[in-house]
Amino acid sequence: MNPELSVVIPVYDEEESLPELTQWIRRVLDDHDFTFEVIMIDDGSSDSSWEQIVKISNEDRRFKGLRLNRNFGKSAALQTGFRATSGKVVITMDADLQDSPDEIPALYNMIVNDGYQLVSGWKKVRRDPLSKTIPSRLFNYVTRQLSGIKLHDFNCGLKAYAGTVVKNITVYGEMHRYIPLIAKWAGYTRIGEKVVEHRPRKYGRTKYGFRRLITGFLDLASVLFVGRFRQKPMHFFGTIGSVSFLIGFIFTVKLFGEKMYSLFVSGVPVKRAITEQPLFYLALVALIIGSQLFLTGFLAELLSQQAVSKKDYLISEKIGFADEQFITTVPAPTRSVR
């Protein structure tokens, strides 16, 4: 029987926080009589995080662990965790104790009772320095305007999903910041938001720096492009290629027209040959670029028709799982919190 809740926690060098976090989760979920599983994905930690996960799982088999072969990044950890879930509702949260497990029942209710397919946490009161909060607000504002999704905190690790959502989206690279947008492109448009508590970091140090702001906008451009043109790449490449080819063709006709007019109508010879005019080379470049973009569109259309399998990351160890494949059929949620 599938559990009501799957909690997915990416872990990277969080050995100190794991015992406290898992005890907190167990207390909250047991108090609400949930059937649940907690899946911790060790993303190539260099400390004893995996040993802590093994210890926790041996004490309570509802807590499971997957260990990636090396550090692939948070998106890879989440994607691996999503494949392993079997819950009707899936909760994601960070392992650093800055996300409160006390928020889980309310998030669950928003999925089950309020009809949302995805609910994102909003850390309205941040416990971070200005060097982190100001770039974050800028990033969220730009993402909100470009994506059309009215969320205040796209990068909040505390999110809730209907189980079917995580089975039908693919998270890769650093795209975990844009899971709401990826879900929207996949047709899951009932997206909500909940103000959640942001606790100060108790152990360790942040894994993110200023570089995230730059890469974040590059990833945003990538996911917007892929989401809009993944099923119809010819609309993008073909349009630009057609315009380029048309411009080159018009200039070519103009040059040859002037040449023919001077030879057969006016009788006044053109001072320079066609190949000596800069406009000829501009027209030639436009024709070549247009043709290449058009062919690129055709190739992209062919590739888009092929089934693309979800990327599997290398798992070196696991605990709490049977040997069968992780992907399961997820029924619709039917229960409310007491």
Pairing of strands 191-195, 118-122: parallel
pLDDT at 263: 72
| Per-residue pLDDT at 329 | 44
User: What is the three-class DSSP state of 86?
Assistant: coil
Task: State the DSSP code for 121.
Answer: E
Amino acid 211: pLDDT: 59
Residues 6+ apart with CB under 8 A from 100: 158, 196, 197, 199
Residue 140, pLDDT score: 83
Q: What is the pLDDT of residue 310?
A: 45
pLDDT recorded at residue 33: 96
Q: Pull the structure tokens for residue 257.
A: 């027209």
Tallying the residues shown for the chain, one arrives at 338
Question: Mean pLDDT for each consecutive 10-residue tract of the chain (338 residues)?
Answer: 94 94 97 96 94 96 94 92 95 94 97 96 79 75 86 92 94 84 90 91 62 65 68 79 91 85 70 78 91 83 54 74 56 50
**Which of 249, 251, 229, 233 is CA-nearest to residue 293?**
233
> From start to end of the chain, where are the E strands?
5-11, 36-42, 63-68, 89-92, 118-122, 159-162, 191-195, 315-319
Q: In what order do the strands lie in the sheet with 36-42?
A: 191-195, 118-122, 159-162, 89-92, 5-11, 36-42, 63-68, 315-319
CA dist 104 and 117 (Å) reads 15
Sign of CA dihedral 224, 231, 151, 203: negative
Is the pTM higher than 0.95? The answer reads no
